Amino acid sequence: MRDHHRLIARYVATRNEQDPAAREAAIAELWTEDGTYADPLGIARGRDAVAAAMAAAQARFPGLVFALDGRVDVHHDAARFAWRLGVPDGVPGGGRVIVAGTDVATFTGDGRIRGVRSFLDDIRVDIPTSPPESEITMSTILVLGGTGKTGRRIIDRLTARGLDVRAGSRSSDPPFDWADSSTWAPAMQGVDAVYISYYPDLAVPGATQAVGELTRLAVASGVRRLVLLSGRGEEEAQACERIVAAAGVQWTVVRCAWFAQNFSENFFLESVLAGEVALPSGDVPEPFVDVEDIADVAVAALTEDGHNGEIYELTGPRALTLAEAVAEIAAATGRPIRFVPVTPDDFAKALAAEGVPQELTDFLVYLFTTVLTGANASTADGVQRALGREPRDFADYVKETAATGIWNGGPA
């Protein structure tokens, strides 16, 4: 137990270490290789992630000192202790407690920290969660998912403005891969703002943890503005929104309806070309949003003042059922294309027959049975609030896309 008290004392010292190299060295000595640190922002797994989490906590509460607030209760291989963040003695307001909480730590038999779970009990004064917008000038912008529907359009717009933009994808230099966290820090080096587009979707298992770890690393790397692409009606997506909002930097959430471009880029294109779109949606309406609108809003949030702390719900100006959407596409192309409602089980069997991986099949079934239920059929004013104009109508998207010939088998 005496060793456990020593470990807690060294843990407290590490929380106050200002030198990144010294902090990382202390964590390497104190923590197990797969140690975890969990707080209201999420879970950090592994020493590097723990170091990033602690650096992010220091960035969020600069100038405060982490200290024990009472005795440490030790029981076998675990300890529970109260802590406080306060203004250090010798400066104006010294001794004042700003934040208080409780940590629960677990240890290995050889005297290392296996994990720490940190609970926030009390915030005793108002603390700015992000710097004033007037203090921030963006120079380098990282766009994650730089080759995706929204990402490539955002990059085109930023490049056209002459801004320094960095694509975040597996083929970029440096590369960024959501499945390989070792690529995250190099991609964010020297970056001021990040557009976060998680692949394949914030609703898939592991997304919340990944976004939490990336957010911590971004703040520790000096990123000052985050813009998150989110989805309507997804509890997991809203958990990620809360993580970004609590990061202590400027943030904006772009919460979107289903993309109109799903009919021409990826999801439904092959079905449209085949002349039959078979999906488990019934008569549920959806206010499809044009990806061009999403890109315009994201660029505004990344480059302009006035968007900090905003959640923009983006939809089109009207809701259509999938049958109505397919009918508009058929009319524009002059081709017979029909919509066929199917059960979720039949939809899953059809995907399996086409060789779609089970994980992706499960995700698509989840979207149709949990998200596309009619609960999100209402239109929203996010485009108007962010851009001061009306959103693009599905009919405009259909007219422009049909003119490219892609729905007749031609190039996009």
Q: What is the CATH number of the domain that holds 32?
A: 3.10.450.50
- DSSP characters over 331-344: HHHTS--EEEE--H
What is the reported pLDDT for 385?
Answer: 96
Residues 150 and 208 in one domain: yes
What are the distances in angstroms from CA 357 to CA 187, 200, 208, 353?
29, 13, 22, 10
* 37, β-bridge pairs: 44, 116
For 182, phi then psi, to 5°, come to -70, -15
162, 104: one domain = no
Claim to verify: residue 100 and residue 228 sit in the same structural domain: no
Pick the last residue of a domain from 83, 105, 123: 123
317 in the same domain as 199: yes
Residues spanned by the domain of 259: 133-408
CA 102, 21, 131: angle at the middle one, nearest 5? 60
Backbone angles phi, psi at 24, to 5 degrees: -65, -40
Q: Is 78 helix (H, G, I), strand (E, B) or coil?
A: strand
* DSSP, residue by residue, 105-117: EEE-TTS-EEEEE
Query: Which tens digits make up the pLDDT trace of 283-326?
Result: 899 999 999 999 999 999 999 999 999 999 999 999 999 999 99
Report the predicted TM-score, pTM, of the whole model to 2 decimal places. 0.72
Are 48 and 167 within one domain? no
Residue 410: what pLDDT? 66
52 and 140 part of one domain:
no
Q: Do 92 and 209 lie in a common domain? A: no
Instruction: Check residue 59 and give its pLDDT.
Output: 72
The Cα–Cα gap between 273 and 336 comes to 10
In the three-class reduction of DSSP (H, G, I as helix; E, B as strand; rest coil), residue 391 is classed as coil
Domain of 243: which CATH number?
Answer: 3.40.50.720
118 pairs with which residues across the strands? Answer: 103
Give me the pLDDT at residue 135, please: 45
Q: Is residue 128 part of a domain?
A: no
Residues 295 and 266: beta-carbon distance below 8 Å: no
Per-residue pLDDT reduced to its tens digit, 367-409: 888 888 888 999 999 999 999 999 999 999 999 999 999 999 7
Number of domains, the chain: 2
Running DSSP on this structure, what letter comes out for residue 130? S
How many helices (H) and strands (E) are present in the chain, helices listed first? 14, 16
Residue 95 and residue 162 share a domain: no
- Tell me, yes or no, whether 104 and 177 share the same domain: no
Evaluate whether residue 116 is within a structural domain: yes
Looking at the structure, do residues 33 and 105 belong to the same domain, yes or no?
A: yes
Q: Which of 94, 123, 152 is the last residue of a domain?
A: 123
**Would you say residue 67 lies in a domain?**
yes
CB 109: neighbour CB atoms within 10 A? 7
The β-bridge relationship of strands 140-144 and 164-168 is parallel
Gap between the Cα atoms of 253 and 245, Å rounded: 8
Q: What is the mean pLDDT of the chain?
A: 87
- Cβ atoms of 104 and 79 closer than 8 Å: yes
CA-closest candidate to residue 144, choices 99, 100, 97, 194: 194
Residue 255 covered by a domain: yes
| 68 shares its domain with 217 | no
Q: Say whether both 213 and 246 belong to one domain.
A: yes
In a domain, 19, yes or no: yes
Cα 339–Cα 345–Cα 349 angle in degrees, nearest 5:
85
Look at residues 123, 149, 178 and tell me which one is the last residue of a structural domain.
Answer: 123
pLDDT of residue 70: 79
List average pLDDT for each run of 10 residues in the chain, which is 412 residues long.
76 86 89 86 79 78 79 83 75 60 88 86 49 59 96 96 94 95 93 95 89 90 94 89 89 96 90 94 91 98 94 97 96 96 93 86 86 89 96 98 91 58
CA dihedral 257, 265, 172, 295 (to 10 degrees): -40
Number of neighbours of residue 185 by Cβ within 10 angstroms: 16
Name the token pair of 147.
Answer: 């080759």
